[in-house]
Amino acid sequence: MSISKELYQDYITQRKKEQELLVKKKQEQELYNKKQNDNITSNKVASDTVSFNKKHALSMSDALNQVRKSKVTLPDTTHLRPENH
C-alpha cells in the first residue's frame, strides 16, 4: 500500500507541474499574440521617425544645391511649337 501511495503522490505532483507549465505557456502565448496585434494595429508611419525626416531634408537640400549650381536656363521655345500656330 505504501508504494502505491507514493506513486500516487508522485503522479499528483507531476500533474501539478504539467498543469503549471501549460498555464505558463498559455500566458506567454497570449502575451506574444497581444504584442503581435499591437504591432499590426499601430499607426506609425515612416515619416514619424526622426531619421526619415533628417534624411529627407538632407537629400532635398543636396538636390536643390545641385540644381542651383548651374545658372543656365533652358530657352523658352513654346512660340516655335507647331501647336501654337
Global pTM reads 0.40
C-alpha torsion sign, points 24, 25, 27, 32: positive
Query: Which one has a higher pLDDT value, 13 or 74?
Result: 13
Give me 22's grid cell: 501549460
Mean per-residue pLDDT, 47-61: 78
Q: Where are the domains of the chain?
A: 1-31
Q: What's the pLDDT score for residue 44?
A: 67
Q: What's the pLDDT score for residue 27?
A: 95
Q: What's the pLDDT score for residue 25?
A: 95
List pLDDT tens digits, range 6-49.
888 889 999 999 999 999 999 999 998 888 877 666 666 666 66
Q: What are phi and psi of 47, to 5 degrees?
A: -70, -15
